[in-house]
A and B are shown apart, each in its own frame.
Chain A
Amino acid sequence: MIVADRKKIPEIRDMIRGHRRVLLVGCGTCVTVCLAGGEREVGILGSALRMALRLAGNSETVVDECTIERQCEDAFVDLLAQRTAEGGYDAICSLGCGAGVQALAERFPAMPIYPGLNTQFIGVLQSQGVWTEKCAGCGNCRLGEFAAVCPITRCAKRLLNGPCGSSRDGKCEISQDLDCAWQLIYDRARALGILDRFDAIVPPHDWSTGLDGGPRKVVREDQCIAGMGPKA
């Protein structure tokens, strides 16, 4: 899932300060699961923002709340159109990920849209309240070569031929809290009996599938609506 965390209240307050009516919009998908931008968090932020605005002498700004199932799909974003029109809102603060913020901006071209979250990474729930990064979305997955532990995401140096000389007792040199990715790769490969795969040097990664080529697009022609082609 996409993992995010909330911006500080003063930062959000200052973004929306000049507006008269602001709608906080939560997202019921990834950011709900990572406890950053779901219905409950929208309620908490709404209450906190109203208080912060009043304490800053801006008690006339109205902050309302709603949450939609998914901000990154037009079918769900469309459900906001009536609410924003009837409510007379002059700004939206999105508690979706960066994709959600931009999806709202495309759907409502005349409406200022502000981010309430800092989108962090693609990751997993490691333990209750702790999320860790697992995937860099490089567009060329090679987990099969590395015993299903991603060195691009989880090695601080992104080494494909690790470990480096600073791996100590299974930990990375940058933090004693961070496992050395190559220690994890080695341990898992040994358990799987595939250590011989690392006899050969791994060639450089093909980064042309990554963000270096500009924003990416995935097209499934068989799923596109006939006659309309892939959406620009």
Chain B
Amino acid sequence: MTDEPLILAFCCHYCAYAAADLAGSMRLQYPANVRVLRLPCTGKIEVNYLLGAFERGADGVIVAGCLEGGCHYLEGNLRARRRVERARQLLAEIGLQPERLEMFNLSSAEGPRFAEIVTTMVERLKRLGPSPLRPDPAQKPLDCIQGLPAQEIGSPPADPALQGACAGHTCSGDKR
């Protein structure tokens, strides 16, 4: 496991998170390297969340939001894309490959695309090698990012119908 790259995926509740759920419901196989962190919208992303993930040893970070023009909060995903670009510039200044961070857009109905995104990133990160910021090469990567401030990321919608892993249907968020 320690040779496998670890990816943190910041996923929008309304699209990428539902797509990941759909991928599971469809029994699609994709690498187990990704840890999904749900946001109410990718517009909640701040540059320091992205840097914080790398600082704690993540090998790669995915930000996955709605298709452009399809954001439930109008332009959260467009703002997220600019922040991701800013974070990539900072990574380049720091001396870490910006390719370790990527933003994707997909809809809640695209379970196969979620699996494809994860597969693509895992292949890319295997080419790049492990992050030089892993505190200890022998340490399991998951341990490195357990200190992420999850409570600061934001809470999911309060509606019980939107809680949990919305198994069995494509996107519970679209009920709203």
> Known contacts A40-B46, A44-B47; is A52 also within 8 Å of B93 by CB?
yes
A48–B46 contact, CB under 8 A?
no
Contact B96 A9 (CB under 8 A): no
Cα A222 to Cα B6 with chains together (Å): 64
- In the assembled complex, the CB of B59 is this many whole angstroms from the nearest CB of chain A, namely 13
A61-81 interface bits toward B, Cβ cutoff 8 Å, 1 = contact, 0 = none: 000000000000000000000
Pair A55/B96 contact, Cβ less than 8 Å: yes
In the assembled complex, the Cα of A55 lies from the Cα of B134 at a distance in Å of 11
- CB closest chain-A residue, reference B92: A9
**What residue of chain B has the Cβ atom nearest to residue A50's Cβ?**
B55
Determine how close the nearest CB of chain B comes to the CB of A54; give it in whole angstroms.
Answer: 6
Q: Cβ of A44 and Cβ of B48 under 8 Å apart?
A: yes
Interface residue ranges of B117-144 to A (CB < 8 Å): 132-133
Verify if B95 is at the interface (C-beta below 8 Å from A): yes
Asked whether, in the complex, the Cβ of A55 is within 8 Å of the Cβ of B95, the reply is: yes
The A-contacting residues of B in range 23-74, CB under 8 angstroms, are 46-48, 51-52, 54-55
**Which A-chain residue is minimally distant from B132 (CB atoms)?**
A55
- When A47-B55, A51-B133, A54-B133 are in contact, do A40 and B94 touch as well, CB less than 8 Å? no
Find chain B residues with CB under 8 A from A8 CB.
93
Q: How far is the CB of A135 from chain B (nearest CB, A)?
A: 29
Interface of B is mostly: helix
Does B78 sit at the interface, judged by CB under 8 A?
no
Task: Specify the chain B residue showing the minimal Cβ separation from A55.
Answer: B95
Residue in contact with B95 in the complex, picked from A40, A47, A50, A52, CB distance below 8 Å:
A52
Are A55's CB and B51's CB within 8 A? Answer: no
Bound form: Cα–Cα A48–B91 in Å: 8
Q: Quick one: CB contact mask for B72-115 with A, threshold 8 Å, 1 for yes?
A: 00000000000000000010011110000000000000000000
Known: A47-B52, A47-B55, A50-B55. A55 touches B94 (CB 8 A): yes
Q: B residues within 8 A CB of A10?
A: 93
A56 located at the interface, meaning its Cβ lies under 8 Å from any Cβ of chain B in the complex: yes
A-side contacts of B54, CB under 8 Å? 51
Determine whether A170 belongs to the interface, using a CB cutoff of 8 Å to chain B.
no
Report B-chain residues with C-beta under 8 Å of the C-beta of A56.
95
Q: Are A47 and B48 in contact (CB under 8 A)?
A: yes
Q: Name 25 A/B residue pairs within 8 A (Cβ), A-sorted.
A: A9-B90, A9-B93, A9-B94, A10-B93, A40-B46, A43-B48, A44-B48, A44-B90, A47-B48, A47-B51, A47-B55, A48-B51, A48-B93, A48-B94, A50-B55, A51-B51, A51-B54, A51-B133, A52-B94, A54-B132, A54-B133, A55-B94, A55-B95, A55-B96, A56-B95
8 nearest A-B residue pairs (beta carbon): A47-B51, A9-B93, A52-B94, A43-B48, A55-B95, A44-B48, A51-B94, A47-B55
